[in-house]
């Protein structure tokens, strides 16, 4: 291992500083004559959205406008927008994440980039975190999530329209029971459902969240080491969110369903025993708790622009981060 690191680290750093051909897409020359890398951006949309939606395209365009040269990849789980939207309601999340791991790992620009940044909207945020924990190739440098349900939902949201048959059909699955094998393998929101009053059932039957949150007795150290490889992890919570319940889930907080008492992440066992590496990230100043005014996914260009500038700007000096990434075994 020591031989491999002594050989591979200089090789990677050399490629970043001189060996790779520069282009407007991924390299910009700074005033100090050192290369600044504009990393690609991967986006995963939320429930009921699709990769071709106008909102997603506008976000991609804004990302490129704020940080010129940004290559944006919007994750899709089907070849058609309708199919992709359906997959946000129906499907096995574990299988979907495996598909995304293959998708990103085989995309030429992403797979040859030194790293990527990642942006998750609503459920797309916890799904991107699961991507990092389970495969992380290409590796994610900075992860930003907006209104994501990192600690799950305690209540299912209702369909916005009675004529939304995809949503209605998915909702109808709940008649089989949230913890049935059928629902846990088919209804996407059920796979991050977490009832704080029924944690035994959750830990036993959850198809997705109990695993990626390392809440079962046997902890997956690979999940922890991969998440700890992040350079920055920013979690945005909407102040008036009434869609994702509880809204504090965006910060990994736990809310008592009877009293409404909030147990913040730093007061939870998940943090104290550091099941996911969040405590380690926090102690290094790499974990950010951000708030956004308004309801769920009520985003403005001003808010997004600030996030893009703060978390997705060109990387001036990334040698220490890459050395740490390789040492931790994520590459």
Phi first, then psi, for residue 123 (nearest 5°) are -60, -25
Q: Is residue 123 part of a domain?
A: yes
Number of domains making up the chain: 1
Report pLDDT for 322.
Answer: 56
Helix H or strand E encompassing 291: strand 287-292
- pLDDT, one tens digit per residue, over 30-67 is 333 445 789 999 999 999 999 999 999 999 999 999 99
- pLDDT, one tens digit per residue, over 139-172 is 999 999 999 999 999 999 888 776 788 888 888 8
Residues of the chain below pLDDT 70 = 1-35, 162, 317-331
Q: Is residue 243 part of a domain?
A: yes
Report pLDDT for 257.
Answer: 84
Q: Is residue 207 part of a domain?
A: no
Report pLDDT for 35.
Answer: 57
* pTM score, whole prediction: 0.85
Paired tokens of 168: 């209605």
- pLDDT, one tens digit per residue, over 256-272 is 988 999 999 999 999 99
CATH no. for residue 85? 3.40.50.1820
Q: Is residue 185 part of a domain?
A: no
Report pLDDT for 175.
Answer: 79
Q: Which class for 162: exposed (0-12), middle (13-18), buried (19 or more C-beta within 10 A)?
A: exposed
Q: Which positions are catalytic?
A: 122, 241, 296
Q: Is residue 129 part of a domain?
A: yes
Quick one: which of 28, 43, 97 has its CA closest to 74? 43
Place of tokens 């949309």: 45
Report pLDDT for 325.
Answer: 55
Report pLDDT for 4.
Answer: 37
Q: What is the DSSP string of 150-177?
A: TT-BSSPPPPS-TT-HHHHHHHHGGGG-
Q: Is residue 195 part of a domain?
A: no
Q: Is residue 227 part of a domain?
A: yes
Which domain covers residue 313, as residue numbers?
Answer: 2-153+220-327
Q: Is residue 172 part of a domain?
A: no
């Amino acid at each position: 291992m020591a031989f491999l690191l002594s050989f591979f680290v200089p090789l990677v750093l050399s490629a970043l500083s001189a060996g790779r051909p520069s282009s407007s897409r991924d390299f910009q020359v700074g005033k100090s004559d050192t290369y600044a890398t504009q990393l690609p951006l991967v986006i995963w949309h939320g429930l009921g959205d699709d990769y071709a939606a106008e909102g997603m395209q506008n976000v991609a365009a804004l990302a490129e406008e704020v940080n010129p040269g940004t290559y944006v990849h919007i994750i899709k789980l089907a070849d058609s927008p309708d199919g992709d939207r359906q997959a946000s309601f129906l499907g096995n999340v574990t299988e979907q994440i495996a598909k995304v791991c293959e998708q990103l790992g085989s995309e030429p620009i992403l797979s040859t980039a030194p790293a990527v940044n990642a942006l998750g909207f609503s459920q797309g945020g916890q799904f991107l975190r699961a991507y990092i924990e389970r495969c992380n190739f290409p590796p994610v440098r900075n992860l930003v999530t907006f209104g994501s349900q990192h600690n799950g939902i305690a209540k299912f949201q209702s369909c916005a329209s009675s004529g939304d048959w995809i949503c209605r059909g998915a909702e109808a699955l709940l008649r089989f029971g949230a913890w049935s094998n059928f629902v846990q393998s088919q209804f996407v929101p059920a796979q991050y459902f977490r009832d704080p009053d029924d944690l035994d059932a959750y830990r036993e039957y959850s198809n997705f969240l109990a695993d990626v949150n390392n809440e079962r007795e046997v902890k997956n150290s690979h999940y922890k080491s991969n998440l700890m490889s992040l350079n920055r992890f920013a979690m945005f919570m909407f102040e008036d969110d009434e869609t994702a319940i509880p809204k504090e889930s965006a910060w990994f907080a736990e809310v008592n369903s009877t009293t409404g008492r909030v147990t913040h992440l730093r007061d939870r066992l998940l943090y104290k025993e550091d099941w996911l590496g969040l405590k380690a990230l926090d102690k290094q100043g790499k974990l950010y708790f951000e708030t956004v005014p308004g309801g769920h996914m009520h985003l403005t260009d001003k808010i997004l622009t600030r996030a893009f500038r703060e978390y997705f700007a060109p990387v001036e000096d990334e040698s220490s981060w890459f050395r740490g990434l390789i040492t931790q075994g994520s590459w």
